[in-house]
Structure formats: structure tokens, C-alpha cells
């Protein structure tokens, strides 16, 4: 019989491992955007799969062993959601900055109000 405590611990370990890999890939994507380049499609697909795996593990129904595991899972879920928003904002900012470098606007082109 599967021990629910060990099952939850394995899930947390797997989540942290995937999250670290996803973090590295997202930082690479942001760096590429700052340079005005795009990541290869295979890496983008891999990141999407990691995101889907993390969400599937978090949404999986499991027995709540104790309050500590419940709090750890909630904490990880909140951290993941906040980090995803942060990456999205940083990525859009990096893209705007790279576009601004490609198309600089001179002072004469700015309309005065």
C-alpha cells in the first residue's frame, strides 16, 4: 500500500525539481528577448510541458496527510503563480526594451502637447 505521506513528499520534490528547471529556461528566454532574439521552438514547447506538469501535480487530488503538507503545497502554488506573473511581466518589459533599441525615437518625432 502506498504511504500518503511519502506520496506527498515525492510530489513536492518533483515539483521543486521541475520548477528549478523551468526557472532556468524562463531566465534564458528573458535573456534572449533582451538581445532581440527568440528561443528555439523546442525549448518553448518544453517549458509549456513543464508548466502543464506542475499544474497537473498541484491539481491532483490527494489525501491531506497533515497541516504541514497542506501549507507546503499552498505555499508552492502561490509561489508558482507569483513567479509566472513575474516572468510574464519581465518578458514583456524585455521585449519592449529590445523594440525600443531597434526603433529609437528622436526628440523631434515626439509630439508636444
- The answer for residues whose C-beta is within 8 angstroms of residue 29's C-beta and 6 or more apart is 39, 43, 44, 47, 91
Q: Is residue 74 part of a domain?
A: no
Asked whether residue 100 is domain-assigned, the answer is no
Indicate whether 32 belongs to any domain: yes
Domain limits for position 29? 12-36
**What confidence category does residue 67 fall into, taking pLDDT thresholds of 50, 70 and 90?**
confident
Give the other-Cβ count within 10 Å of 35's Cβ: 10
pLDDT tens for residues 85-97? 999 999 999 888 8
Condensed to tens digits (0 to 9), the pLDDT of residues 3-29 reads: 777 888 888 899 999 999 999 999 999
pLDDT over threshold 90, residue 108: no
Q: What is the tally of structural domains in the chain?
A: 1
Cell of 55: 499544474
Look up the pTM and report it: 0.77
Amino acid at each position: 500500500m502506498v504511504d500518503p505521506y511519502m506520496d506527498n513528499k515525492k510530489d513536492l520534490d518533483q515539483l521543486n525539481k521541475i520548477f528549478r528547471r523551468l526557472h532556468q529556461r524562463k531566465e534564458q528566454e528573458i535573456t534572449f528577448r533582451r538581445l532581440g532574439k527568440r528561443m528555439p521552438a523546442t525549448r518553448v514547447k518544453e517549458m509549456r510541458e513543464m508548466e502543464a506538469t506542475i499544474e497537473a501535480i498541484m491539481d491532483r487530488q490527494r489525501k491531506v496527510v497533515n497541516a504541514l503538507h497542506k501549507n507546503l503545497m499552498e505555499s508552492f502554488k502561490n509561489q508558482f503563480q507569483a513567479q509566472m506573473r513575474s516572468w510574464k511581466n519581465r518578458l514583456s518589459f524585455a521585449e519592449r526594451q529590445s523594440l525600443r533599441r531597434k526603433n529609437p525615437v528622436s526628440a523631434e518625432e515626439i509630439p508636444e502637447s
